[in-house]
Amino acid sequence: MLRSAVLPPLAPDLIELDLLDSVAELGSLGRVAARHGMSQPAVSMRMSQLERRLGVRLLQRDTSGTRLTPAGERVVALARRVLGETRALLAEVDALAAEESSRLRVAASLTIAEHLLPGWLAQLHRQRPDLGVLMEMANSATVLARVREGRADVGFVEGHSACPPGMGSRVIRDDTLMLVVSPDHPWAHRSSPVTGPELARAELIVRETGSGTREILQDALAPWGTPRWRLELASTSAILAAVRRGEGPSVVSALAAADDLEAGRLKAVSTEGISFSRSFRAVWLAGRPLSPLSERLLAIASST
């Protein structure tokens, strides 16, 4: 790969080139000073510095004013190309900054993306109607990867409360997982809670590896072994549908199961001696301050 040439220490300063261009146009150091908001001695000093940098005489001063030498005229012609490209660069940067200020890239784990994020974004859009949002739904491990790669400004994950290495984070709210079954499952009508050993022996419907829900389930049942599973599905919606069909029990977010429980399509089963609590957490790259839009989204998420 070819490396760009390094500018020499005596490369001209852009401000000096801009001043030289004004001298060519106005023919007076006093008028140049007024245009640029500088004193005349300061302009004169910068022109002398430019001549020393380039090693050529650029200006001819006399009682009638200041004019360019032949070398100065050639330098100004070249400088105007540089200044034009610089102004184009600055205009492009301004456009990029304007685009960034009205665009937000969000990655969120599925439970948050399906049940919480739409409401948060609706509130944000009411405050900023011009806002464009790029949203990705994925499991918690993938969300963290997107933030680390710089492909998301902010991410929302579910799982334990510890801050992931290299990340800034903030707890948004707490959530609880619950055991659910179909209404005709044998556990739907039992009077005693399901114990840890029972749940560890059961064939469950689970999320894929990398999911925050899967992580909590594995850690909660670790004292009794690795959870057994008969189906591994990539979304909570698919798991709820499988449970409704009677495919087996599952442990899901209480938030995700609320509608099915209210409609009687699922039954919640109490458990004993098992902790299924977890946190929903916002994450971003450590050392990089959150953008105003990200901060505004987090404020909405924390207040709802």
Spatial contact of 56 and 75, defined as CB atoms under 8 Å apart: yes
Residue 6 belongs to a domain: no
**How confident is the model over 3-53, as pLDDT tens digits?**
556 878 778 889 999 999 999 999 889 999 999 999 999 999 999 999 999
Residue 87 belongs to some domain of the structure: yes
- Summary mean pLDDT of the chain: 89
* 108: confidence class by pLDDT, cuts 50, 70, 90: very high
Of the pLDDT bands very low, low, confident and very high (cuts 50, 70, 90), residue 277 is confident
Report the pLDDT value the prediction gives residue 94, as an integer from 0 to 100.
Answer: 63
Same domain, 34 and 151: no
In a domain, 159, yes or no: yes
Segment 180-205, tens digit of pLDDT: 999 999 999 999 999 999 999 999 99
Facing residues of 289 across strands? none
Q: Is residue 42 part of a domain?
A: yes
242 assigned to some structural domain:
yes
Pick the last residue of a domain from 42, 76, 99: 99
Q: Mark whether 78 and 158 lie in a shared domain.
A: no
Span 116-126, average pLDDT: 94
**Residues 95 and 110 placed together within one structural domain of the fold:** no
Give residue 160's pLDDT: 62
Which of 53, 81, 99 marks a domain boundary?
Answer: 99
Sign of torsion, CA 260 264 265 270? positive
Residues 94 and 111 reside in one and the same domain? no
Whichever domain contains 142, its CATH number is: 3.40.190.290
Residue type at 48?
S
- The CATH code of the domain that includes 79 is 1.10.10.10
On whether both 183 and 161 belong to a single domain, the answer is yes
Residues 86 and 139 grouped into a single domain: no
The domain in which residue 51 lies consists of 14-99
For the segment 152-177, the average pLDDT, to the nearest whole number, is: 83
Torsions phi, psi of 87, nearest 5?
-65, -40
- Residue 194 in tokens: 């399901």
Together in a domain, 109 and 95: no
Per-residue pLDDT for 266 more than 80?
yes
In a domain, 4, yes or no: no
Q: Closest Cα to residue 154, out of 165, 175, 139, 170?
A: 170
Same domain? 167 vs 43: no
Same domain, yes or no: 172 and 304: yes
Q: Is 7 contained in some domain?
A: no
Same domain, 156 and 250: yes
My answer on whether 108 and 61 are in the same domain is: no
Is 249 found in the same domain as 143?
Answer: yes
Q: Which residues contact 275 (CB under 8 A, 6 or more apart)?
A: 220
CA distance 89 to 77: 19
State the pLDDT confidence band at 1, using cuts at 50, 70 and 90: very low
Look at residue 37 and tell me if it is in a domain: yes
Dihedral of the alpha carbons of 18, 19, 24, 26, in degrees to the nearest 10: 120
Angle between helices 14-26 and 40-54 (to 10 degrees): 110
Number of domains in the chain: 2
